[in-house]
Amino acid sequence: MILSPAEWAIIGLSLKVSFLAVLVTLPIAYGFAWLIARRRFPGRMLLDAAIHLPLVLPPVVTGWLLLVLLGRNGPIGGWLEQTFGVVLVFRWTGAAVAAAVMALPLMVRAMRLSIEAVDRRLVGAARTLGASPLHAFLTITLPLSVPGIAAGAMLGFARSLGEFGATITFAANIEGETRTLPLAIYSGLQTPGSQGAVTRLAIISIILSLGALMMSEWLVRRSQGSRAHVL
C-alpha cells in the first residue's frame, strides 16, 4: 500500500493532533485522578461527573459547548485571544482541544484505578525515610501508578485518533488544518464511490492504533521489569 502525499499529510496531522492532546491532557488527567482517588472534598462527586460529561453527551454537543466557551466570542476563547492572541476555532490546536476533552474521562478513570491500587503503607514508609509528601508522591505513588498512566495514555490516544463529532463541530473540517483521519474518512463515506479511499484510510487508522498499542505495552513491560510475585 503506497500512500499519496495527501494521505501522508492527513496522517501527520492526525498524529500531531493526537500527540498534543494526550501530552497536554496527561498531567491534567493525572491531577484529577489523584484528587478524586485520594482527597475527600466537597464537590468531589461533581468534579467526577463533570469529567465524565464528554462521554455521555453526544460528541456534537460537546463540540458545540466548546464553541460556546472557547469560540472567539466565548468567555474563555475571548480571553485567550485578548491575552495571549491564541485562537482555537478552525485551528489544529482546536482539534487537539476537542480530542483532549473527549479523551479526558477515559484517562482519568484508568489513572484513578491505578492510584487507588497503590498501597498507602509504602507512602508512610517513604515519609519515615525522609520524603516530603511531594517527594513521596513523585517516587512512590506516581511510578506505582504507571500501568494506569500507560493505559490512560493509550485509551486517550486511541480516542483522539478516532475523535470526530466534537472536532468537526468545534474545529470544522479544513484540509491541512483540522481534517484528521476520521474527518477524512467521514468525507469519503459521504461521497458515492469512494469506498476504496475510505478503506485505505481506515486501514491506516488501524495500523496507527496498533502501533500505539504495542508501544504502550512495551513501555509498561519495560518499566515493570520482572517485579511481580509469581507464586
Residues lying near a copy of itself in the complex (CB under 8 A) are found at 45, 48-49, 52-61, 64, 105-106, 109-110, 112-114, 116-117, 119-121, 124, 147-148, 151, 154-155, 158-159, 161-162, 164-165, 181-183, 185-186, 189, 198, 202, 205-206, 208-210, 213-214, 217, 228-231
Among 42, 85, 130, 196, binds other proteins (CB under 8 A): 130
| Cα–Cα distances in angstroms (integers) from residue 144 to residues 72, 91, 94, in the given order | 41, 37, 33
Triad 215, 216, 220: Cα angle to 5°: 120
Residue 78 C-beta: closest distance to other proteins, Å: 8
Triad 35, 158, 161: Cα angle to 5°: 115
* Contacts to other proteins from residues 24-83, by CB under 8 A: 60, 63-64, 67-68, 71-74, 77
Question: CA-to-CA distance for 158 and 206, rounded, in angstroms?
Answer: 10
Nearer to a copy of itself, 75 or 124 (CB): 124
Partner whose binding site includes residue 209, from a copy of itself, other proteins, none (CB under 5 to 8 Å by kind): a copy of itself
Q: Compute CA 112 distance to the chain's CA centroid, rounded to the nearest angstrom.
A: 15
Residue 229 touching other proteins (CB under 8 A): yes
Grid look-up 504507571 returns: 146
> Residues 171-200 vs other proteins: string with x where CB under 8 A?
-xxxxxxx-------xxxxxxxx-------
* Contacts to other proteins from residues 145-174, by CB under 8 A: 165, 168-169, 172-174
Partner whose binding site includes residue 73, from a copy of itself, other proteins, none (CB under 5 to 8 Å by kind): other proteins
2-29 b/e with 16+ CB inside 10 Å = b?
eeeeebeebbebbbebbebbbeebbeeb
Q: Left, alpha or beta for 191 (phi > 0: left; psi -120 to 50: alpha)?
A: beta
Partner whose binding site includes residue 28, from other proteins, a copy of itself, none (CB under 5 to 8 Å by kind): none
Among 87, 113, 219, 220, binds other proteins (CB under 8 A): 87
97-109 b/e with 16+ CB inside 10 Å = b?
bbbbbbbbbbbbb
Q: Is 180 helix (H, G, I), strand (E, B) or coil?
A: coil
Task: From 148, 153, 144, 149, select the one nearest 228 (Cα to Cα).
Answer: 144
Task: From 162, 159, 154, select the one nearest 213 (Cα to Cα).
Answer: 154
Binding site for other proteins (CB under 8 A): 60, 63-64, 67-68, 71-74, 77, 87, 89-90, 121-122, 124-132, 135, 139-140, 143-144, 165, 168-169, 172-178, 186-193, 224-229, 231
